A and B are shown apart, each in its own frame.
Chain A
Amino acid sequence: MDTPELFDGYGPVAGFDEMFEKSEVRENYGTIHESFLKMGAEEIRLRADSLASSYLEQGVTFGVAGEERPFPLDIVPRLIESEDWQHVERGVRQRVLALERFLADAYGPGELFADGVVPRDTVMTSPHYHRVVAGLEPPNGVRVHVAGVDLIRDGNGDFRVLEDNVRVPSGVSYVMTNRRALSAALPEVFADHRIRPVAQYSQALLAALRKAAPAGVSDPTVVVLTPGVYNSAYFEHTLLARTMGVELVEGRDLVCRSGRVMMRTTNGLEPVHVIYRRIDDEFLDPVQFRADSALGVPGIINAARAGHVTIANAVGNGVADDKLLYTYVPDLIRYYLSEEPILRNVDTWRVGEPEQREEVLDRLDELVLKPVDGSGGKGIVIGPAASKDELDELRGKILDDPRAWIAQPVISLSTVPTLVEDGIRPRHVDLRPFAVHDGDDVWVLPGGLTRVALPEGELIVNSSRGGGSKDTWVLAGLSEPEDAGETAPTATPIAGITQSAGPAFDSDTRGVQVQEQEQQQQQEGPSC
């Protein structure tokens, strides 16, 4: 039965749509498209509703200004072909390795400055460059234990890097919960595809964290450090701790004693060796950073410096997240790895450089201006959407502190069909793949978080701006084996054991009993 109204009014799409090419369904999405048509609008709505209520019941939420909100998950999955994914995977790995080398260099010998790859000033003036960790060597050399690299697809469908997140990238919990929820909501569609699993993330992370333990600790105690229940990513912190089977601690649960970090337990203080922290640098240690912060642990940096505890991700990584540094990453890849970048950056102007600034100031109304140290879409000004006053204000800010800005052309992010009020409509998406570096290899979780901008035409996809998410399906290639370690143990059926049962209710006896009891009642008078 055909219910065409589901995709009616879809398009024509401006830019690159991942399901439709003009009005034709792309081949890879054929099965999904067909299944949706077969189910029909009403059934899809029903399933979307139960998806939403299951998220409420499980408390899959994120916090906005202290209030918990369910994390919206769209019912239409996003597909990524095996070949496209291999390209992304290699590109992300390359970037992480280059950024590791950069961080080690910037906090160590500084050869890149001597060789003129990046001006020393660019790094030293970054608000995220922390001199206190200069010279601090992490136990297995890893600083970027977890990376989240934000990608978009441009008008040609090519993946481009939007920014790197090597401080405390979040969102991976939604990748895992989205998968479980969507496979429950669309089991038949799911079964029609060979989709690479995502559940192994926690084990990969735990293995990487254990490998990062201080020297000589054979069975390290790993903890996840959270700012607390009011943090927007608290749900994620609990999920990671729960699935890794480690303690989720707050700053007040930890204490430093003679250069070691201990946690307060019912049996007194116990040592901690690896801290996967989800607290920003500035709040981590009141001795070194903000003295007024109650979230962190006084003395934790010294403990790390003494080599008794590993902080993951490393303190000071923010300098690699700086959007000005981002413009140099292709050069860093060439410099450290002698390779050409696999994933291209989005074209970017460095507003701090006089000639580039001229051009940017001339074209403010057609560019996107981003503060270099902003995250979560904060402070971004989209030229074509801004009023004259906003642009004038922006111009003033840029002239005051040009180092603080970069500019990019407005890129039309690719769209994917998304269920909204009016039916299924194109909405802009980005993609954040997650990478885990254990010192030997950079492993990239197949898929990552697809964020979708729910308001029509909106280009900023952050959840704090009303963004939702999609389950991201990376298809397994024909020659690829299913991911190792994912196969369930094969069960041999056990024969001959019947389930034990209570007393038998033989129908004859029951008949007799019913009769007897009815007689009994008559003797006792009518039951009431």
Chain B
Amino acid sequence: MLSRIAQSLFWIGRYLERADDTARILDVQMQVLIEDPGMDERTSCEQLLSVMGVEDYTGIPNRWLILDLLAHNADSPVSIAAAIGAARESARRARETLSTDIWAAINTTWRGLSAAQAMRPPEMFTWVRNRTAMISGIADSTMSRDEGWQFYMLGRSIERVDMTARLLSTAALASGPQVAWPTTLRACGAYESFIRAYRGIEADRQAAEFLLLDRWFPRSIVSSLAQAEKALTKLESSGQRSGFSDEAQRLLGRARTELEYRPLADIVFDLPVEMERLQRSCAAASDAVSARYFAESEAHTWRGGVLL
């Protein structure tokens, strides 16, 4: 498979997941702002922006600013609009390898974006979640399980780990946890699964545990990490008897075991710091994947007769 195409598929996976998760995170935030009277809008919006990695912005952080920066403004790299635009651009570049169905689904989503932006925020978030779910569904049922699929799944899983980590940080930072945790679970579509798994006993600690460590729930960090590792194993054809020659696999495997074998109390004690560490592992793993599989696509450029 062409390195450039592999790279596109990896990023289609990442951007679509990012759009989906950003919509989920914003949904939580908006809900908490409305429902929790004790909430300080400014602090909580500041925290959210910092969790999402937005450092430079002008204006007082409030719900309108975060909606602009994280949802609507296509010039803001962390916005839903930017993620959908980038996914469509990656898809356009990998068009010949995508099934017509999946291309049309991505293209239609991109085309429908401006109409969606005119909706009320909760409706728009639902729209984003539905559209991305539809695209994953089509991908799931029309894409061959070849290398391209593995790169797509790898991108999606790494992004999911990263974004779920951000989602958990937001919940942990929110001052009114009574509202934050159930809302966070709902945003992940995890509320019912969680209630069933813990027999209706709701507690912050359990909610965090569920989203971090549940092996059965597909959006949990541990199961997303396992998914990413699985994709890497399929891509790594050499079949080594011991150890991992693949840097990304080492990084993700270590991140997963650190979560699974450490006492939960340790992890939740300072959740935001732990989650930041996890995000760093994701970034490093992503870099390692690029270096190993996409390096060939970092083209040598040829200008004025000289190979640069």
Interface residues of A (CB under 8 A from B): 56-59, 224, 229, 234, 237-239, 241-242, 247-253, 255, 263-269, 286-287, 291-294, 298
Contacts and interface: CB of A to CB of B under 8 A. Distances in A.
Contacts of A224: 96
Given A264-B297, A291-B305, A298-B307, 13 more contacts: A56-B111, A57-B111, A58-B100, A251-B299, A252-B297, A252-B300, A253-B3, A253-B297, A264-B296, A266-B147, A286-B302, A292-B303, A294-B301
A252 B6 contact: no
Interface stretch (B23-31, B55-63, B102-110, B265-273): B102-110
A238 B108 CA distance: 18
Nearest to B5: A247
B303 A294 contact: yes
B28 to A, nearest CB: 24
Contacts of B95: 59, 238, 242, 248
23 contacts: A56-B111, A57-B104, A229-B93, A238-B95, A239-B96, A242-B97, A247-B96, A250-B4, A251-B299, A252-B297, A252-B300, A252-B301, A253-B2, A255-B300, A264-B3, A264-B4, A266-B2, A266-B6, A266-B296, A287-B305, A292-B303, A294-B302, A298-B307
B303 A266 contact: no
A247 B2 contact: yes
Contacts of A248: 95-96
B305 A264 contact: no
B5 to A, nearest CB: 8
Contacts of A263: 2
Nearest to A250: B4
B84 to A, nearest CB: 14
Contacts of B1: 265-267
Given A56-B111, A57-B104, A249 B2 contact: yes
Contacts of B217: none
Nearest to A248: B96
Contacts of A264: 2-4, 296-297
A268 B294 CA distance: 10
Q: Is the interface of A mostly helix, strand, loop or mixed?
A: mixed
Interface string B286-302: 00000001101101111
Contacts of A291: 304-305
B104 A59 contact: yes
B92 interface: yes
A274 B192 CA distance: 56
A519 B93 CA distance: 59
A173 to B, nearest CB: 12
Interface string B51-94: 00000000000000000000000000000000000000100110
Contacts of B92: 59, 229, 234
B145 to A, nearest CB: 16
B116 to A, nearest CB: 15
A162 B305 CA distance: 38
A237 B94 CA distance: 11
B96 A241 contact: yes
**Max chain A C-beta neighbours (<10 A), residue from B1, B111, B302:** B302
A267 B104 CA distance: 29
Contacts of A247: 2, 5, 96
Contacts of A286: 302, 305
**Max chain A C-beta neighbours (<10 A), residue from B96, B111, B294, B301:** B96
Contact of B108 (A57, A255, A287, A294): A57
Interface string B223-265: 0000000000001000000000000000000000000000000
B100 A298 contact: no
B227 to A, nearest CB: 19
A441 B3 CA distance: 37
Contacts of B4: 250, 252-253, 264
Contacts of B107: 57-59
Given A241-B96, A242-B96, A291-B305, A268 B296 contact: yes
Contacts of A249: 2
Contacts of A292: 303-305
Instruction: Report the 10 A-B pairs with minimum CB-CB distance, sorted nearest first.
Output: A252-B299, A264-B296, A291-B305, A241-B96, A238-B95, A242-B96, A248-B96, A238-B96, A266-B293, A59-B107
B137 to A, nearest CB: 17
Given A59-B107, A242-B95, A265 B302 contact: no
Nearest to B110: A59
B267 to A, nearest CB: 35
A265 B296 contact: yes
A247 B4 CA distance: 11
Contacts of A58: 100, 103-104, 107
B303 A265 contact: no
A29 B92 CA distance: 39
B302 to A, nearest CB: 5
B39 to A, nearest CB: 27
Nearest to A54: B104
A80 B84 CA distance: 44
A253 B97 CA distance: 15
Contacts of B2: 247, 249, 253, 263-266
A265 B148 CA distance: 12
A250 B300 CA distance: 12
Contacts of B305: 286-287, 291-292
A178 to B, nearest CB: 16
Contacts of B6: 266
Contacts of B93: 229
A287 B305 CA distance: 7
Contacts of A237: 96
A238 B98 CA distance: 10
A234 B6 CA distance: 19
A253 B107 CA distance: 25
**Max chain A C-beta neighbours (<10 A), residue from B89, B100, B299:** B299
A258 to B, nearest CB: 15
**Max chain B C-beta neighbours (<10 A), residue from A59, A242, A293:** A59
Contact of A266 (B3, B100, B299): B3
A269 B296 CA distance: 9
A291 B302 CA distance: 8
A252 B5 CA distance: 12
